[in-house]
Structure 1
């Protein structure tokens, strides 16, 4: 399905010396002669003083609208032949702007401009131009063909298939249509595979969400989401077996040391662990900032905040699950926050905190 060529050269150049000149050099020389210029609007500074050129510019808009439109159309076709697609688009656009009322001219310009836009990958413009063609000629095969090509790239495959069905009516053996149909079939298979994979992922994610929701409900643990949940990377509240609500539950956990303006992060704390287990792990290696050695498992107190801003002291040998089941405890964003203070400073810290509340 080759591109249409509706224009014939206006004139042939004669007596142009060709010896020792490349085709590109010859084209440049011809383009300096007003009659052969490809773009009257971009002729350059020299052309501004060329009366013949100014006359040609004026002539481009002389005559009836359909004559002017036809002239621009022919210029566009010549540019198309020479693969000057940008210039061709400009000429077709000027022809269309004449609103000449001649359907054949308008169809040709919209259709050929769609062909240029297809080359540039302006697929939505292709669809717009093809729609204008089909508005004037509902059986225009090339408009359906170009629409199908654009729709395939835009992944609107069902629409592309409908356009190709029209193309195939009476043109089923056209090599271009056969090739495009093969491409469409391949794209549809790829799309179906992707959609199936997406459906499986969504189903799996739904099962995991339901299992986690049920696990929290069965354990009487309240989890509340804040307006802006912190980014914890891969660390998140999860079940050991994501689809099994009865499997072990793990929480990302932050230990806060308010008297030192320090903190520690544990990516996954088991619901069966105790505060003692957690502190033993965290303080196995003394912290660099703990120069007085005040932060050791047996000489600190741990607290968890309640939903009203109060504090609940955490028994060191009580499983974390029991702590989270306290009626006043909520887990913000699925993250446990434990406040750790040296025992010898707990009373003073609580008093200060109460004063500041």
Structure 2
């Protein structure tokens, strides 16, 4: 029914064909029409609202629309899982399809999509979109520079500072005076504490804008940090050189005395390092042979008690010390009795000292009044594991007889 016919029908049926109304009549008519409408609505059958939007599903319903989908993705969702439907897919194909758009338009669309993902902190998706934009190889140099710079920003938020700097370099190839890219490269090089690189980037920025204070202040700070690192490097090199010289001095001292290590003499071992003399025994760790102020070799020494399978360890035993002096300190009259010496027979005056020749399976007795150096320079003595060792046995004991018999 045409609108004119519908109006005439209403006037004829409801208003009796009357067309001229006073203000009072119009007001009365409006009041009556309102009452009729309320009466009609009350007469309708009541039913629950269903198949519509609720508090629980409104976001899901809105997400079905391609305009709202990127904004309504849950923060906890995995990147790349934005809601998608047929309409969204269709629009996306049109937006990024090179058959429907020029390379520049597609690159611009990827840039805008990347910026949107960046805004919502979806940095990996942002990187992916900026990368796709660059793949279009559009002729617009400014757009390519922006894509590289924006990708650098996303990389920076991901902690990929080196990748960000590379993008800044590429951005400047498209736009040599692109200060945003220089600023970002400066920040990333500072994050990497690559001070030489920071100085170089600040110089690049100052060549574009000589008045920029950030470049000046950052360059000054980077130069100071660089000097500190160079100073520390020189100091470390000097310390290592000093340590190396000290080690060589120790090795030369051992060689000059003709001390034997293992099965080869020091005189025949030109490639020896102090690492070869690092003590193997757990108790001797960190007590490597060294020279004291008198240029005496100071050794870690083990006293081994075969009868009880126990050991005593002396961290610093100068080669000029007499062995009995140390025995008197450990097992003399004033020393506490060792907990394993139940019979209290391991007293300094009751002890005999030996060293073992493993090659010939022979025992050599050691004069308790000799110096450590005299023992170490014995033709058959060998320093094993960087730690000289002496066997301690109680004289006039049954164990001594049995122990010595094994070697004879």
Q: TM-score range by the shorter chain?
A: 0.7 to 0.9
Asked if residue 202 in structure 1 is aligned to residue 202 in structure 2, the reply is no
Task: Identify which range, 344-353 or 190-199, moves more after superposition.
Answer: 344-353
User: What is aligned with 2:301?
Assistant: 253
Asked if residue 300 in structure 1 is aligned to residue 351 in structure 2, the reply is yes
User: What is aligned with 1:193?
Assistant: 231
Unaligned residue ranges in structure 1 (runs of 5+): 1-26
Asked if residue 121 in structure 1 is aligned to residue 159 in structure 2, the reply is yes
Task: Describe the shift of the 1:60–1:274 C-alpha distance in structure 2 as closer, same or farther (beyond 3 A).
Answer: farther
Q: Secondary structure at the match of 2:342?
A: coil
User: What is aligned with 2:66?
Assistant: 34
User: What is aligned with 2:108?
Assistant: 70
CA distance in 1, matches of 2:220, 2:256: 54
What is the TM-score of this pair, normalised by structure 1? 0.76
User: What is aligned with 1:61?
Assistant: 96
- The structural deviation recorded for 1:131 is 4.0
Conservation of the 8 A alpha-carbon contact between 1:38 and 1:75: no
Equivalences, count: 321
CA distance in 1, matches of 2:401, 2:237: 56
User: What is aligned with 2:406?
Assistant: 352
Conservation of the 8 A alpha-carbon contact between 1:141 and 1:166: no
User: What is aligned with 1:316?
Assistant: 368
Q: Secondary structure at the match of 1:273?
A: coil
Conservation of the 8 A alpha-carbon contact between 2:189 and 2:198: yes
* From 319, 336, 339, the counterpart of 1:285: 336
Conservation of the 8 A alpha-carbon contact between 2:110 and 2:133: yes
Asked if residue 264 in structure 1 is aligned to residue 299 in structure 2, the reply is no
* From 192, 206, 215, the counterpart of 2:253: 215
Conservation of the 8 A alpha-carbon contact between 1:307 and 1:329: no
Task: Identify which range, 292-301 or 263-272, moves more after superposition.
Answer: 292-301
Conservation of the 8 A alpha-carbon contact between 1:226 and 1:332: no
CA distance in 1, matches of 2:390, 2:210: 72
User: What is aligned with 2:221?
Assistant: 183
RMSD of the TM alignment (CA)?
3.3
Q: Secondary structure at the match of 1:35?
A: coil
User: What is aligned with 1:325?
Assistant: 377
Asked if residue 174 in structure 1 is aligned to residue 209 in structure 2, the reply is no
Conservation of the 8 A alpha-carbon contact between 1:60 and 1:71: yes
User: What is aligned with 1:14?
Assistant: none
Conservation of the 8 A alpha-carbon contact between 2:279 and 2:286: no
Task: Identify which range, 297-306 or 182-191, moves more after superposition.
Answer: 297-306
CA distance in 2, matches of 1:307, 1:105: 80
Task: Identify which range, 289-298 or 224-233, moves more after superposition.
Answer: 224-233
- The structural deviation recorded for 1:138 is 5.8
Task: Describe the shift of the 1:266–1:200 C-alpha distance in structure 2 as closer, same or farther (beyond 3 A).
Answer: same
CA distance in 1, matches of 2:255, 2:358: 18
Correspondence list, 1:13-52, <5 A:
33-38=65-70, 42=80, 47-48=83-84, 50-52=85-87
Unaligned residue ranges in structure 2 (runs of 5+): 1-58, 74-78, 263-274
CA distance in 2, matches of 1:352, 1:99: 87
Correspondence list, 1:231-246, <5 A:
232-241=284-293, 246=294
Conservation of the 8 A alpha-carbon contact between 2:106 and 2:133: yes
What is the TM-score of this pair, normalised by structure 2? 0.67
Task: Describe the shift of the 1:42–1:338 C-alpha distance in structure 2 as closer, same or farther (beyond 3 A).
Answer: same
Per-residue deviation, residues 281-332 of structure 1 (Å, max 9, x unmatched): 2222221112233422222322224473644322100011111112332323
Task: Describe the shift of the 1:323–1:124 C-alpha distance in structure 2 as closer, same or farther (beyond 3 A).
Answer: same
- The structural deviation recorded for 1:266 is 1.4
Q: Which of the two has higher C-alpha Rg?
A: 2
User: What is aligned with 1:157?
Assistant: 195
